[in-house]
DNA sequence: TGTCTAATTAGATATTAGTATAATTATTAA
DNA sequence: TTAATAATTATACTAATATCTAATTAGACA
């Protein structure tokens, strides 16, 4: 689980109303107006909060006629609460063990003199070297629309979709609502 | 009221900077300016965030000359993350905690000797016992038309519509296009 | 004492986010 | 097709808060 999901998860629980909703749902499913009634809030407010809880995967729902019964995904709740415990623990760093010489060799093997990527290496260690090189042209803190990221990656290799996906998997980048952003260094999969 | 402590705890973790601080501290103690440097932030900002984390009991600190080394109270972190899991759980409110003796008592209280349901219990725990008993006459994997389910339920109680709705809400059954099917056991609301 | 260093406080600003009302959508019932 | 009900969306308003600069506090030590 990547860092931004952890932040979103805790942000979702960092509100008294949403905690009260969770406490209610832990006793059984409820529909929106019932929740609104029990908490003395208006239905749109409940919709707002359910959307937040749903975004972080805590809500299951079931429709019966016009009524939607919300229930708590307790499995998701349990696993999400655990995520932060393992955040800073780094296991075997694959790129840490790459010497500068190896790194240079990998780069010169996979890039043409013009800076084009000949192909995307299958070996994870090499792929990490390639990707960490490619993202040097991106800025921390800047939000990139998907279109811009795709165009940027296309200058290296026509299969920009694979590169884009790899950047997410390796946690070099974070994606939300079709927008991309560099993750902080300590999250990178290296 | 412990609920507000739970809210404050998650609010403290619902911020990217503070999560990054925790990730750093999970690798060992650090002093304020070191944290500021690693995160490219100013010292007052770190003070601000450390205060938030300290308020919810996550930070231990040790002074060495002018330098304060912050470290993570991992025990506190672990126990705080667990708190929400037990929030709404009322003792004896789930079927898990129903003993066989209680179960038998509930069944004999609500069913006539002929197997008719006297009435539908209002208490959730009892309702779950009743419903889980009723569905013993249904087969896993078989698709039931609404008419057949209604007739089946009617043999227990004339208000088959309420029973049918309860079976959906409790996730004992799943409905789509007027057809009903038993859910797998792990989805049941018990 | 006076100076150095790390941390904190104070105050300002900009952004995020919770809640409400009014309008709209989606589904069921007549 | 129309009506009824539950939920959602669209906006607006307000409150909370993350970050900064500048000023201040607290120890350590020469």
- What is the percent of chain B with per-residue pLDDT over 90, rounded to a whole number? 35
Q: How many residues does chain A have?
A: 190
Distance A31 CA to C29 C1' (A): 20
Chain C footprint positions (protein CB, under 7 Å): 4-11, 17-23, 26-29
Distance CA B67, CA B38 (A): 17
The residue written with tokens 């995160």 in the block is B39
CB proximity B4–strand D (7 Å threshold): no
Tokens at B74, concatenated:
């991992």
Residue A76 confidence (pLDDT) above 80: yes
**Which residues share a beta bridge with A91?**
none
**Among A61, A74, A82, residue whose Cα is nearest residue A26:** A74
Residue A102 confidence (pLDDT) above 90: no
C-alpha distances out from residue A169 to A129, A161, B24, B98, B120, Å = 14, 12, 21, 44, 51
Distance CA A182, CA B40 (A): 15
Residue B103 confidence (pLDDT) above 90: no
Residue B100 confidence (pLDDT) above 60: yes
Taking all residues of chain B, what is their mean pLDDT, rounded to a whole number? 84
- The answer to whether A58 touches A72, Cβ cutoff 8 Å, is yes
Q: How many residues does chain B have?
A: 190
Closest Cα in chain B to A75: B85
**Number of inter-chain CB pairs under 8 A, A vs B:** 119
Is A3-86 a CATH 1.10.10.10 domain? yes
Distance CA B57, CA B46 (A): 16
Res B46: pLDDT? 95
Distance of CA B24 to the CA centre of its chain: 30
The residue written with tokens 């912050």 in the block is B70
- The answer to whether the Cβ–Cβ distance between A78 and B85 falls below 8 Å is yes
Res A143: pLDDT? 78
CA of B123 vs chain A CAs: smallest distance (Å): 11
Residue B183 confidence (pLDDT) above 60: yes
**Which residues share a beta bridge with A144?**
A180
Residue B66 confidence (pLDDT) above 70: yes
pLDDT band at B147 (very low <50, low <70, confident <90, very high): confident
- The answer to whether the Cβ–Cβ distance between A27 and B124 falls below 8 Å is yes
Cβ neighbours of A133 (radius 10 Å): 17
Residue A183 confidence (pLDDT) above 50: yes
Residue A136 confidence (pLDDT) above 90: no
Question: Which residues, in sequence order, are CB contacts of B32 under 8 Å at separation 6+?
Answer: B43, B46, B47, B50, B68, B70
Test the B interface: residue of A6, A8, A26 with most B CBs within 10 Å: A26
Res A93: pLDDT? 44
pLDDT band at B91 (very low <50, low <70, confident <90, very high): very low
Residue B126 confidence (pLDDT) above 60: yes
Residue A21 confidence (pLDDT) above 90: yes
Residue A175 phi, psi (nearest 5): -125, 135
Distance CA B128, CA A35 (A): 21
Is B95-187 a CATH 1.10.10 domain? yes
Residue B72 confidence (pLDDT) above 70: yes
Q: Which residue has the higher pLDDT, A100 or A50?
A: A50
> Span A89-99, mean pLDDT?
57
CB proximity A66–strand D (7 Å threshold): yes
Nearest-nucleotide field for A67 (CA, C1'): D6
Residue A96 phi, psi (nearest 5): -55, -35
Distance A151 CA to D28 C1' (A): 56
Res A189: pLDDT? 55
- What is the percent of chain B with per-residue pLDDT over 70, rounded to a whole number? 87
Q: In whole angstroms, how large is the CA radius of gyration of chain A?
A: 22
Tokens at A54, concatenated:
């749903």
Helices (H) and strands (E) in chain A, counts: 9, 6
The full DSSP string for A50-72 is HHHHHHTT-EEEEEETTEEEEEE
Residue B134 confidence (pLDDT) above 70: yes
pLDDT band at A177 (very low <50, low <70, confident <90, very high): low
Res A7: pLDDT? 94
Residue ranges per structural domain of chain B? 3-86, 95-187
**Among B7, B88, B85, B58, residue whose Cα is nearest residue A12:** B7
pLDDT band at B18 (very low <50, low <70, confident <90, very high): very high
Residue B182 confidence (pLDDT) above 70: yes
- Closest CA to the C1' of C9: that residue is B44
- The answer to whether the Cβ–Cβ distance between B170 and A29 falls below 8 Å is yes
Asked if the domains B3-86 and B95-187 are classified in one and the same CATH topology, the answer is yes
Is A100-187 a CATH 1.20.1050 domain? no
> Span A90-110, mean pLDDT?
73
């Amino acid at each position: 689980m990547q860092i931004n999901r952890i932040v979103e998860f805790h942000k979702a629980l960092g509100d008294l109303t949403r905690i009260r909703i969770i406490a209610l749902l832990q006793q059984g499913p409820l529909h929106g107006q019932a929740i609104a009634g029990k908490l003395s809030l208006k239905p749109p407010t409940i919709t707002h909060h359910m959307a937040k809880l749903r975004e972080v995967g805590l809500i299951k729902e079931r429709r019966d006629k016009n009524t939607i019964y919300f229930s708590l995904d307790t499995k998701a709740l349990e696993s999400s609460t655990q995520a932060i415990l393992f955040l800073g623990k780094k296991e075997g760093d694959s790129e840490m063990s790459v010497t500068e010489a190896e790194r240079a060799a990998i780069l010169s093997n996979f890039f043409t003199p013009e800076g084009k990527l000949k192909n995307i290496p299958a070996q994870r260690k090499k792929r990490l070297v390639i990707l960490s090189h490619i993202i040097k042209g991106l800025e921390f803190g800047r939000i990139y629309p998907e279109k811009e990221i795709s165009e940027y990656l296309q200058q290296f290799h026509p299969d920009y979709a694979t590169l884009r996906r790899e950047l997410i998997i390796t946690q070099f980048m974070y994606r939300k609502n079709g927008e991309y952003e560099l993750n902080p260094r300590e999250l990178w999969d290296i």
